[in-house]
Chains A and B, each alone.
Chain A
Amino acid sequence: MFALIKREIQDHIAYFIGAAVFSVVFIIISFSLISRYDHRKPPVFSIGFGVPAATIVIFGICAMGATQMYLDRTRKISALLSTLAVSRNQILLAKIITGILAILILFVPLTIAAGILLRLFTPPVPMFTGMVLEISVVVFLMAFACYCIGLQTGWNSSPVTPSLGALFLTCILIPLILIKGFGVHIAVILVLFIVASLIRTWHTFMKTSL
């Protein structure tokens, strides 16, 4: 299993480097923005920075899942691996673990930085700790859901179904976040989506010709 994960990381090292670099850049910009924050002015620059950053993250994570599966399919990597002492389950699991690792490389430093920023620039209210944790969990789940969509898109020759799934999820999540904020209800929807998406990917991967 470790050899499979190592292979996945080596093959997709660009995403890991990208995640680490993005994380560092994001933290630096966040520190600089917050240190110069003036509550009398509207946070136009913060929003102008946050929206493209989120878009890059969503597309980057989705692209990683898609690349993993697409390259596997076109280069017939699983066809070779599954003739060795490896099961299809292990091959897929290694891919997913690699995806989770990339997401963690991106978000763990960000979460730590957010915690530090809150301690530095807000009063010591326990509410904030819970808030950071809740937002971090939801953001991680959102990223993982994007990754799952990528996995499906990369394996299917027609990306229509995964794209429709992504659109449907976005239509539900954005209003919910805007109305109720980050919380358990969003996490539950995301977990359900992730489970359904992973089952579908697993089923396709297990049944398809390699």
Chain B
Amino acid sequence: MDENVIKVENLVKYFDGRCVLDGINLNVPRGCIYGLLGRNGSGKTTIIRILLGLEPPTRGQTFLLDTASTELSPKLHGRIGYVAEGHNLIQNYRVGRLIKLCKDLSLQWNDEFFDHLIETFRLPTDRRVKELSIGMRAQLNLALAMAIDPELLILDDPTLGLDTVARRRFLELAIELIQQQGRTILFCSHILGDVERIADKIGILAAGKLVVDCPLEELKERVKKLRIIFPESAPANLHLTEIINQQIQGREMVITVANWNKQKQTVLDTFKPSSCTEIPMSLEDIFIECTKPNPEYIES
């Protein structure tokens, strides 16, 4: 059995002649929490929809739990929990009816855990789904996805519409779920603080390409932002590879470099800078740098 629960091989997707995904390769090992990041329209939801077999790819292949996405059986679907962006629920159903339908169509249903979630979220089962607030719909969708004790949980911007308390509660639940061995989570979000809190591995999509694919800690180690002061005006070109971003202002140069190492330090030293200080970067800073035009790849 493959150790990768999610496999994406050379995935290409065009929408009306526009390339949304351009040769994506991605692996998510068992037990990993993978945070997939990207700006609006970068193709995160498209990858997830292709993975779940809801959307056909233009080229390439995707696999979930060792099976091609186009051939996922109901049995395999029963092992995957999914929270869709915008909380794709049947709007005119009463909450109770939707719960019963999902329960009837599931292979396994953890009543105890589900009831606990419904109680925690204080979801009214007698109201129609369309009468719920966005936050309540998000909670309902999450509870439905969690109730099946999924082996793989795919969350497409699950905290969208949740208030701070509900978001924190959701993250705690996600962590609780992860602690049960062997669970894998693919997690898309615009709230980078959430991703930073729970993700083991990060992927960043920009311009249809996966420009970052490595563990979070490694990413923070490898991407460096440096403020360099030169005795005279800063050189236009440092002859360094993998420069993600570069700004020059008189004697000062601020660069963001991927895969910083001793060789790059030596190259920099040949320019005899007066000082070189590292600017600490959060995941949000790295994300902003990486999603600027023409970033280079940071893959593990």
Q: Which residues of B contact A207 (CB under 8 A)?
A: 56
Within 8 A of B (CB), among A63-90: 75-77, 79-87, 90
Taken together as a complex, chains A and B put the C-alpha atoms of A83 and B76 apart, in Å, by 10
Write the nearest CB–CB distance from B151 to chain A, whole angstroms. Answer: 13
In this complex, the interface size class of chain B, counting residues with CB under 8 Å from chain A, is 20 to 34
Given known A86-B105, A209-B49, contact A80–B88 (CB-CB < 8 A): yes
Q: Is B267 an interface residue (CB 8 A)?
A: no
Given known A85-B75, A209-B49, contact A79–B105 (CB-CB < 8 A): no
Asked whether A3 lies within 8 Å of B104 as measured between CB atoms, the reply is yes
Q: Which residues of B contact A80 (CB under 8 A)?
A: 84, 88-90
Write the nearest CB–CB distance from B53 to chain A, whole angstroms. Answer: 7
Which B residues contact A (CB, under 8 angstroms)? Answer: 49, 52-56, 73-75, 77-78, 80, 82, 84, 88-92, 101-102, 104-107
Q: Which residues of B contact A77 (CB under 8 A)?
A: 90
Does more than half of chain B's interface fall in helix, strand or loop, or is it mixed?
loop
Given known A79-B54, A207-B56, A209-B54, contact A86–B88 (CB-CB < 8 A): no
Taken together as a complex, chains A and B put the C-alpha atoms of A83 and B82 apart, in Å, by 7
Taken together as a complex, chains A and B put the C-alpha atoms of A25 and B49 apart, in Å, by 48
Which A residues contact B (CB, under 8 angstroms)? Answer: 3-4, 7, 75-77, 79-87, 90, 207, 209-210
Write the nearest CB–CB distance from B208 to chain A, whole angstroms. Answer: 18
Q: Which residues of A contact B55 (CB under 8 A)?
A: 209-210
Asked whether B88 lies within 8 Å of A81 as measured between CB atoms, the reply is no
Taken together as a complex, chains A and B put the C-alpha atoms of A4 and B54 apart, in Å, by 19
Asked whether A4 lies within 8 Å of B92 as measured between CB atoms, the reply is no
A4's contact among B52, B75, B105, by CB below 8 Å, is which? B105
Rank and list the top 4 A-B pairs by shortest CB-CB distance, nearest first.
Answer: A85-B78, A3-B104, A84-B105, A85-B74
Asked whether A87 lies within 8 Å of B106 as measured between CB atoms, the reply is no
Show 12 residue pairs from A and B whose CB-CB distance is below 8 angstroms, ordered by the A residue.
Answer: A4-B105, A75-B91, A77-B90, A79-B54, A83-B52, A83-B54, A84-B74, A84-B77, A85-B75, A85-B78, A85-B105, A210-B55
